[in-house]
Structure 1
Amino acid sequence: MSEPRFGKDGHGVYIIAEIGVNHNGSLQRAKECIDQAVACGADAVKFQTFKSEKLVTKQAVKAEYQTEHTDASESQLDMLRQLELSFEQFLTLKQYCEEKNIDFLSTPFDEESAGFLNSIEVDAFKIGSGDMNNLPLLAYIDQFERPVILSTGMADLEEVEESLNVFTKSSVALLHCTSDYPAPLEDVNLLAMNTMADRFKTMTGYSDHTDGIEIAVAAVARGARIIEKHFTVDRSLPGPDHMASLEPYDFKRMVQGIRNVERALGDGVKRCMPSEENTKIVARKSIVINCSKSAGEVLTENDLAIKRPGTGIEPKYYFDLIGRQLLNDVEADQLLQWSDLK
């Protein structure tokens, strides 16, 4: 299974603005979200594509976080009907993303939606944690041979492996996730992302449901190559996910923080960096002569001292100089050079 490539060059952390259903059923608001995500520097926007009747039963109750931010008396089905966009609207959004030069991703919740997304050449399928063990849906999506991003909230390592084994044609990236809104810090378990990377040797990242931006930035420092974060133009809007989302100002701060961490991670080669060269000359030390000496004299330990700057013989050669003969006259407090020694 090949490693998925995201973005224009396949390098750098791939940042997804998870719009989800924060368009509240409005095509215009969905476009506004795309515009704002582009302005924030996101690499992709992600939606949710579903047919409400195929997703939940009439009796299905809402999650606790959904009840807190929507009409508690309505069913999950009634809520989803208000948040559903048509296939035609998603085609419009895909084309709009192409105009804005941002990737279009979506999460299909049924085979019909997955088939439609493939027909409009979705840039990647995102599988939500709720379907990560829906092996029939995963097998159906695998046939399209498109990149897949698989969230793993609520799963253990064996379940992740079962899901990965379904994909024989599609490249898959794994996202660690805690499926609570907002996710409590003590349940984030960020190191599990590294456990998956070590175990499955595939691209890994983090789908962040915590408040704020620091955990997403920390995930990048831990090696995340994909970051997904819920995104809204206004957290005060009605709907199940707005309060667990970032508004543009904070999303942009997160993007900037991630890019700064990327720059700071470097290539892992330990060396003196260009910005350190001047400091190295000033802060490091050299071997100097304590008192004036004449050519032909032999150096003793009492003749040598170690002082700044670092433009002479390095202190690590101190003991190698004892017993060496001088070729030149040297003055007190003069930095020794190799050319002064026989």
Structure 2
Amino acid sequence: MTVEIGSQPIGDGAPVYVIAEIGLNHNGSVENAKKLIDVAAHAGAQAVKFQKRTPEISTPEHMKSTPRETPWGTMTYLEYRYKVEFDREQYIEIGDYATMRGLDWFASPWDEPSVDFLEDINVVAHKVASASVTDLGMLQRLRETGKPIILSTGMSTLEQIDRAVATLGIDNLVILHATSTYPLPAEEANLRMITTLKHRYPGVPIGYSGHETGLQISLAAVAMGAVMVERHITLDRAMWGSDHAASLEPQGLERLVRDIRVIEEALGDGVKRVMPGEFAPQAKLRRVGA
């Protein structure tokens, strides 16, 4: 089964769909967002992804008044959430820019009004963040859009994932294995979950959302059959913000996409044959014929 996002099929036999997760790494700056879109386009990614919140709704109550040190001074966590949130005009500006650069773009809504916000500006797909796996009301609202949905599965049990999948339906769904540790240590990556998810949800495209600092784990996920890879990107990992340290800088994203394409080609079709490059060595080295 394949899912189509924009004009690109997602599934076995299709090129791995690479999402450059900008998230909040723009730090509230449209200029930074455009620079990150340029990074994704130059590297050969297929999509960029943002996050959309209605801060008053999506911010946990116990966090709203918690002080946060920011580049704009000390403020409450709720004030910070409003500070880095793009409005409709800003989203239209960066969305148009992404389209102009040949990229699909969409976002993770963190509450039901954010789903409506994103629908109003006609995103091509929706992404469910791992933190939202148990928000069944929002998942139902997402299903009602009829758009392709990408479900991350970090910080979740199989039972919670089952309920999310039952709510979303499988007809237009991609599931991403994820571990929500930032940055992700290798011992928590648990890449064999890709195989587990393939068996548990047959026919549903399975991918990987990574929060590690390097490339090896994401590349291994592709070798294990991930058909979509999502990684956070940043202009500089030393920038202020909680996600930058677990993000790829521009050269890292370029290498990731390059190496994914090599692995895709190397995986082949699993049919044993004598390859064209083997005929000369065969003639030279094989003493006993068939």
Whether TM-score is above 0.5 comes out as yes
Q: Structure 1's 265 and 169: CA in aligned 2 closer, same or farther, altered over 3 A?
A: closer
Instruction: For residues 92-123 of structure 1, give each alpha carbon's deviation from its aligned partner in whole angstroms, at most 9, with x where no partner exists.
Output: 12211111110102101111111121222212
Query: In the aligned structure 1, how far is the partner of 2:171 from the partner of 2:34?
Result: 29
How far is 1:3 from its partner? 3.7
Structure showing greater relative contact order (alpha-carbon pairs closer than 8 Å, 6 or more residues apart): 2
TM-score, normalising length: structure 1: 0.78
How far is 1:62 from its partner? 10
How far is 1:82 from its partner? 2.2
Q: Structure 1's 194 and 278: CA in aligned 2 closer, same or farther, altered over 3 A?
A: same
Match of 2:177 in 1: 176
Structure having the higher strand fraction is 2
How far is 1:188 from its partner? 0.9
Please give the root-mean-square deviation of Cα atoms over the aligned residues, in Å: 2.2
Match of 2:25 in 1: 22
Q: Given that residues 236 and 249 in structure 2 are in contact (C-alpha distance below 8 angstroms), is that contact kept between their aligned partners in structure 1?
A: yes
Instruction: For residues 175-222 of structure 1, give each alpha carbon's deviation from its aligned partner in whole angstroms, at most 9, with x where no partner exists.
Output: 111111001211111101110111101100110011101100000000
Match of 1:185 in 2: 186
How far is 1:134 from its partner? 0.6
SS of the aligned residue for 2:63 comes to: coil
Query: In the aligned structure 1, how far is the partner of 2:89 from the partner of 2:73?
Result: 30
SS of the aligned residue for 1:19 comes to: strand
Where does 1:24-39 land on structure 2 (aligned, <5 Å)? 24-39=27-42
Aligned counterpart in structure 1 of residue 276 of structure 2, from 274, 280, 297? 274
Q: Given that residues 109 and 127 in structure 2 are in contact (C-alpha distance below 8 angstroms), is that contact kept between their aligned partners in structure 1?
A: yes
Which amino acid is the alignment partner of residue 109 of structure 1?
A: W
Aligned counterpart in structure 2 of residue 229 of structure 1, from 220, 227, 231? 231
How far is 1:73 from its partner? 6.2
The 10-residue stretch of structure 1 (134-143 or 106-115) with the greater mean CA deviation from structure 2: 106-115
How far is 1:68 from its partner? 10
Aligned pair count? 284
Question: Where does the alignment leave 5 or more consecutive residues of structure 1 unmatched?
Answer: 287-313, 317-342
Query: In the aligned structure 1, how far is the partner of 2:134 from the partner of 2:45?
Result: 28
How far is 1:234 from its partner? 1.4
Identity %: 38
Query: In the aligned structure 2, how far is the partner of 1:178 from the partner of 1:69?
Result: 27
Q: Given that residues 219 and 256 in structure 2 are in contact (C-alpha distance below 8 angstroms), is that contact kept between their aligned partners in structure 1?
A: yes
How far is 1:238 from its partner? 1.2
Q: Given that residues 56 and 78 in structure 2 are in contact (C-alpha distance below 8 angstroms), is that contact kept between their aligned partners in structure 1?
A: yes
Where does 1:198-213 land on structure 2 (aligned, <5 Å)? 198-201=199-202, 202-213=204-215
SS of the aligned residue for 1:59 comes to: helix
* Correspondence 1:114 to 2:115: yes
Match of 2:287 in 1: 285
Query: In the aligned structure 2, how far is the partner of 1:135 from the partner of 1:152?
Result: 14
Q: Structure 1's 69 and 176: CA in aligned 2 closer, same or farther, altered over 3 A?
A: farther
Query: In the aligned structure 2, how far is the partner of 1:62 from the partner of 1:213?
Result: 37
How far is 1:231 from its partner? 0.3
Q: Given that residues 57 and 111 in structure 2 are in contact (C-alpha distance below 8 angstroms), is that contact kept between their aligned partners in structure 1?
A: yes
How far is 1:71 from its partner? 9.4
How far is 1:37 from its partner? 0.8
Query: In the aligned structure 2, how far is the partner of 1:279 from the partner of 1:35?
Result: 45
Aligned counterpart in structure 2 of residue 12 of structure 1, from 12, 15, 21? 15
TM-score, normalising length: structure 2: 0.91
Q: Structure 1's 191 and 71: CA in aligned 2 closer, same or farther, altered over 3 A?
A: farther
Q: Given that residues 58 and 77 in structure 1 are in contact (C-alpha distance below 8 angstroms), is that contact kept between their aligned partners in structure 2?
A: no
Match of 1:240 in 2: 242
- Greater Cα radius of gyration, structure 1 or 2: 1
How far is 1:8 from its partner? 3.9
Where does 1:1-342 land on structure 2 (aligned, <5 Å)? 3-6=2-5, 8-10=7-9, 11-57=14-60, 59-60=62-63, 74-168=75-169, 171-201=172-202, 202-286=204-288, 314=289, 316=290
Which amino acid is the alignment partner of residue 246 of structure 2?
A: A
Q: Given that residues 70 and 239 in structure 1 are in contact (C-alpha distance below 8 angstroms), is that contact kept between their aligned partners in structure 2?
A: no
SS of the aligned residue for 2:3 comes to: coil
Q: Given that residues 69 and 75 in structure 2 are in contact (C-alpha distance below 8 angstroms), is that contact kept between their aligned partners in structure 1?
A: no
SS of the aligned residue for 2:237 comes to: coil
Which amino acid is the alignment partner of residue 41 of structure 2?
A: V
Query: In the aligned structure 2, how far is the partner of 1:213 from the partner of 1:75?
Result: 35
Structure 1: 4+ residue segments shifted above 3 A:
6-9, 67-75
Query: In the aligned structure 2, how far is the partner of 1:62 from the partner of 1:263?
Result: 51
Query: In the aligned structure 1, how far is the partner of 2:156 from the partner of 2:142?
Result: 20
Query: In the aligned structure 2, how far is the partner of 1:119 from the partner of 1:178?
Result: 31
Query: In the aligned structure 2, how far is the partner of 1:62 from the partner of 1:281?
Result: 76
Query: In the aligned structure 1, how far is the partner of 2:250 from the partner of 2:64?
Result: 31
